[in-house]
Structure 1
Amino acid sequence: MDKLQAMKVFCRVYEAESFKVASESLDISRPMVTRYINALEDDLGAKLLHRNTRNISVTHAGKLYYQHCINILEAIEEAEGELGDLTQQPKGHLRLSVPMDFGLSHMVPILNEFSQLYPDITLEVDFSDKRVDLTESGIDLAVRGGDLGGDQFIARPLCTMRGYVCVSPMYLERKGVPQHPTDLMQHDCLIYTNAPYANKWSFNSSEEAFDVSVHGALMANNGSALTRLAVAGAGIIMQPDFLVERYLESGELVSLFDEYETFTGQFYAVYAERKLQPKKVRLLIDFLLEKLQSPA
């Protein structure tokens, strides 16, 4: 039995609480995962996991053994990492999760540049607005915006975002110009259904703060689609700067109510806390920080 590989398998099963997830993330078969766990238990003379057809639970011995395994594996990785930093080009498979709209508008060129700099690192990118569980999915690094939901991970700020209320000149010619945010109740608004309160738009100034109930005939779970609909004159949107800035610059959209703040947020690089991150992950985090924190 390859003891180190068996330890890695056990740690992955322990963290994911699933033989299936462990087999998928480690790219080995489920029977092989079972054989590694059985071999460890036979070698140790102790039960590490209780399992049935529905779930698994960790024994007291399993919890103790997990801590020893983590310490051993991290010590080996640290030693290899220090030597590898000196002697090897970074390589390996790196799984990344990014939001759909922000990923397409800002991450694609950055990831392309990163891939050219480090051709031996294989990037597997999941473009999705769905919040992923880093432990269960095997994701090495996630870019997330807004509320992180109290996840027990390290979150490093990458860049900020600000919301704008935008509309096309052709819509204003047809429907008139709203003079105050409350006038939006009489206009066609394009609703982003992934927002926590999709039909309530918030406005804040030094003098007042209030919500406006909006409605419209078009709703979608994709901000890029709503922005393009707004450019076509379908209605008024509230979307982040990274989606609307180029249309504002071209004049295809105009901003309304600039004296009010709508929503602001932050994008973060989120990853599991470890004594030593793999070099490929550290390189990508530093690269994202450099590119996204730059004023350019």
Structure 2
Amino acid sequence: MDKLQAMKVFCRVYEAESFKLASESLDISRPMVTRYINALEEDLGAKLLHRNTRNISVTHAGKLYYQHCVNILEAIEEAEGELGDLTHQPKGRLRLSVPMDFGLTHMVPILSEFSELYPEITLEVDFSDKRVDLTESGIDLAVRGGDLGGDHFIARPLCSMRGYVCASPKYLARKGIPSHPRDLKQHDCLVYTNAPYAGKWSFKSAEEEFEVNVKGPLLGNNGGALTRLAVAGSGIIMQPDFLVERYLESGELLSLFDEYETFTGQFYAVYAERKLQPKKVRLLIDFLVQKLQSPA
């Protein structure tokens, strides 16, 4: 038995609380995961996990052994990392999760530049607005706005965003220009269903703060698609600056209610709390911070 590999497998099962998820994240078969765990238990003479057809639970011995495994594996990784920093270019697969629209508008050129600098690092990028569980999915790093995923994760700020309410000249010529945010109740609004404010848009000024319930003929879970629909004249949108700024500059969209603040937020690099991050992850985090906090 490869003891170190068995330790890695046990730690992954422990963290994911699932043989299936551990096998997928480690890219080994589920029976192989079972064999590693059985071999460890036989070698140690102690039960590490209780499992049945529905779930698993960790024994007291399993909890103690997990802490020792983590310390041993991190010590090995640290030693290899220090030598690797001196003798080798960073390499290996790095799994990254980014929001669809922000990823396409901002991350693609940055990731392309990163790949040129570190050609031996293979980036596996999931472009999706779906929130992934970093523990279960095997994702090394996620770029997120809003909810950051809990106390077991570290978040480094990357860049800020703010929302705009916009419509095309074509739509405004047809439907009229709303003079106050509350007038949106009588307009066709294109609602982004993934947002916590879906169907309920917030406005804030020095004098007042309120919400407006909006509705319209089109709802969608992709802000880029809704922005293009707004450009085509389908309705009014509330979307972040990185999606609408080029259309505002070209005049294809007009900003409404600039005296009011809508939503604001921050994008973060989110990763699991560990004593030692692999060098490739540290490099990408630092690169994102450099590029997004100080854009050229």
TM-score by length of 2: 0.98
Listed one character per residue, the Cα deviations across residues 185-242 of structure 1 (whole Å, up to 9, x for unaligned) are 1111111111223111110011110111111111111100100000001111000001
1:281 is aligned with what amino acid? V
1:190 partner SS: strand
Given that residues 148 and 270 in structure 2 are in contact (C-alpha distance below 8 angstroms), is that contact kept between their aligned partners in structure 1? no
Paired positions, count: 296
- The 1-side partners of 2:167 and 2:197 are apart by 21
Q: How does 1:98-247 map to 2 (within 5 A)?
A: 98-247=98-247
- The 2-side partners of 1:123 and 1:182 are apart by 46
1:258 aligns with 2:258: yes
1:267 partner SS: strand
1:223 is aligned with what amino acid? G
1:117 is aligned with what amino acid? L
2:124 partner SS: strand
- The 1-side partners of 2:162 and 2:110 are apart by 21
CA shift, 1:40, in A, is: 0.8
Listed one character per residue, the Cα deviations across residues 74-110 of structure 1 (whole Å, up to 9, x for unaligned) are 0010011011011000100010111111111111111
- The 2-side partners of 1:16 and 1:200 are apart by 36
Match of 1:12 in 2: 12
TM-score by length of 1: 0.98
Given that residues 14 and 58 in structure 2 are in contact (C-alpha distance below 8 angstroms), is that contact kept between their aligned partners in structure 1? yes
1:32 aligns with 2:32: yes
CA shift, 1:171, in A, is: 1.1
Match of 1:271 in 2: 271
- The 2-side partners of 1:134 and 1:224 are apart by 25
Instruction: Structure 2: state its 5+ residue gaps.
Output: none
CA shift, 1:268, in A, is: 0.6
1:35 is aligned with what amino acid? R
1:49 aligns with 2:54: no
- The 2-side partners of 1:257 and 1:272 are apart by 40
Change (3 A) 1:77 1:149: closer
- The 1-side partners of 2:163 and 2:197 are apart by 15
Listed one character per residue, the Cα deviations across residues 230-266 of structure 1 (whole Å, up to 9, x for unaligned) are 0001111000001001101111111011110000011
Listed one character per residue, the Cα deviations across residues 19-46 of structure 1 (whole Å, up to 9, x for unaligned) are 1111111111111111111111111110
1:288 is aligned with what amino acid? L
1:171 is aligned with what amino acid? Y
CA shift, 1:149, in A, is: 4.8
- The 1-side partners of 2:213 and 2:26 are apart by 48
CA shift, 1:151, in A, is: 4.5
Change (3 A) 1:14 1:144: same
1:38 partner SS: helix
Query: After the TM superposition, which segments of 4 or more aligned residues of structure 1 sit over 6 Å from their partners?
Result: none
1:183 partner SS: helix
- The 2-side partners of 1:203 and 1:197 are apart by 11
- The 1-side partners of 2:66 and 2:92 are apart by 25
1:217 partner SS: coil
RMSD: 1.0
CA shift, 1:295, in A, is: 4.3
Match of 2:90 in 1: 90
- The 2-side partners of 1:75 and 1:199 are apart by 50
Match of 1:3 in 2: 3
